[in-house]
A = this chain, B = another copy of it.
Amino acid sequence: MNIRQQTETICASLKPEDTAIQPVDYVSPPKWHLAHTTWFFEQFVLVEQCADYNVFHPDFGYYFNSYYNTLGDRVVRADRGLMTRPALNEVLAYRAYVNKHLALFLDKGVSEATARIIEIGLQHEQQHQELLLYDIKYIFGHQPSFPRLEYQIQLLPETVQPHFVKIPEGVYNVGHKGEGFCWDNELGQHKVYLHDFEISNRLVTNSDYIEFINSGGYKDFNLWHADGWDFIQQNKLAAPMYWHKVNDKWMYYTLQGFKALDFSAPVSHVSFYEAFAFAQFKGMRLPTEFEWEVASSQFNYGNVWEWTNSAYLPYPKYAKPDGAIGEYNGKFMVNTMVLRGASVATPNNHSRPTYRNFFNPEMRWQFSGIRLAK
């Protein structure tokens, strides 16, 4: 239950008001995360497998289901921010109640199938821990007082001496073998043919990115996808999310507050479009997800998720799991791009070289950066 505790640790310095709002559709109220991850255990473990369990509140299943159409009606995603109730303290009581009953249930010993559900629940909670940090950053970073979060995460400088790693042409194995936990979308180790390529051992830094901005990167349509160009025009974008130019000096909001840009840190909070345009500007390209996976043992990663030039698509033997779990990954396999690696917001041991993260190409609130290939 240390994993469950970590969710509360992240939120410890939030005020009740911070946990209630949904500033845009894709940012959920923090107290919704606290409740939804709890509902997962209540529903899939206690309700479904523990005969004498009494639900904490009969309506919470309806309130805190997320996108599992399989399980019936739910509050639509965009309306999560309308629910000021249950309040934060009730949600924390819900967590305590479910944790207690889960512990009692586990004490009796569980089947392998149940252990598997619990593992999924914990992995699921870890994913929400990461989303919580994105969402808290969005909430704090879009109000004039720029509050700071006491829970500490911080991007490290990219200090390694930069060079390009060469990988020879050939057939490679990619994907997860199925030993140890993995998501359905990684499963099915299979062969891919890769051609010669080179990949950088270092992420693009804020310093590199300022060069792109100063060279007019946001004004040269030749560098951009057509959709990317429309995206930056319509949203009047000329820098990563959270960057502000104050008195001719680049500042940014971080979870430590509003401060001067750290030039040696990896650039973060860029969309796929920006990552692509940056690579074009350098006369290079982004790696594919398979190039990344094959080369990943030859560089360090973990600061920010890394956009690849691979669309998020099913692996050759992909089979959607049955039931609600089956809605977790497969239905997003269109219009999204794969990110590989991990970020400082990713819980320890939650990532691995085969892990496939994915977002729409315009998303920027996650910790996402750039690694070049050629």
Number of copies: 4
Q: CA–CA, A337 to B70, complex, Å?
A: 28
Contact of A83 among B144, B285, B331 (CB under 8 A): B144
User: Chain B: which residue is nearest A312 at the CB level?
Assistant: B311
In the assembled complex, which residues on chain B have CB atoms less than 8 Å from the CB atom of A335?
227, 335, 361
Query: A254-290 toward B: CB 8 Å interface, digit per residue (1/0)?
Result: 0000000000000000001100100000000100000
Q: CA–CA, A326 to B314, complex, Å?
A: 30
User: Chain B: which residue is nearest A171 at the CB level?
Assistant: B193
How close is A244's CB to chain B, nearest CB, in angstroms? 15
Would you call B15 and A15 a contact (CB within 8 A)? no
Q: Which of A301-338 contact B (CB under 8 A)?
A: 309-311, 313-314, 316-317, 326-327, 331-335, 337
How close is A231's CB to chain B, nearest CB, in angstroms? 10
Would you call A224 and B84 a contact (CB within 8 A)? no
Query: A183-200 toward B: CB 8 Å interface, digit per residue (1/0)?
Result: 000000011110101000
**Interface SS of chain A:** mixed
Q: Which of A21-45 contact B (CB under 8 A)?
A: 21, 23, 31
In the assembled complex, which residues on chain B have CB atoms less than 8 Å from the CB atom of A17?
16-17, 19-20, 31, 84-85, 87-88
Contact of A20 among B21, B171, B193, B327 (CB under 8 A): B21
In the assembled complex, which residues on chain B have CB atoms less than 8 Å from the CB atom of A334?
225, 227-228, 272-273, 276, 337, 361
**Chain B CB within 8 A of A62 CB:** yes
How close is A294's CB to chain B, nearest CB, in angstroms? 13
How close is A29's CB to chain B, nearest CB, in angstroms? 9
Q: Which of A60-97 contact B (CB under 8 A)?
A: 62-63, 67, 69-70, 75, 81-88
In the assembled complex, which residues on chain B have CB atoms less than 8 Å from the CB atom of A139?
82, 84
Q: CA–CA, A56 to B228, complex, Å?
A: 35
**Chain B CB within 8 A of A142 CB:** yes
Q: CA–CA, A316 to B333, complex, Å?
A: 22
**Chain B CB within 8 A of A226 CB:** yes
Q: CA–CA, A226 to B334, complex, Å?
A: 9
**Chain B CB within 8 A of A221 CB:** yes
In the assembled complex, which residues on chain B have CB atoms less than 8 Å from the CB atom of A234?
none
Q: Which 9 A-B pairs have the closest CB atoms?
A: A311-B311, A17-B20, A16-B16, A17-B84, A193-B193, A18-B84, A195-B316, A226-B331, A191-B193
- Other A-B contacts than A17-B19, A18-B87, A191-B195, 16 sampled, CB-CB below 8 A, are A15-B84, A17-B17, A17-B84, A17-B87, A21-B82, A59-B144, A63-B144, A82-B139, A83-B145, A84-B139, A190-B193, A195-B317, A224-B331, A225-B334, A273-B334, A311-B311
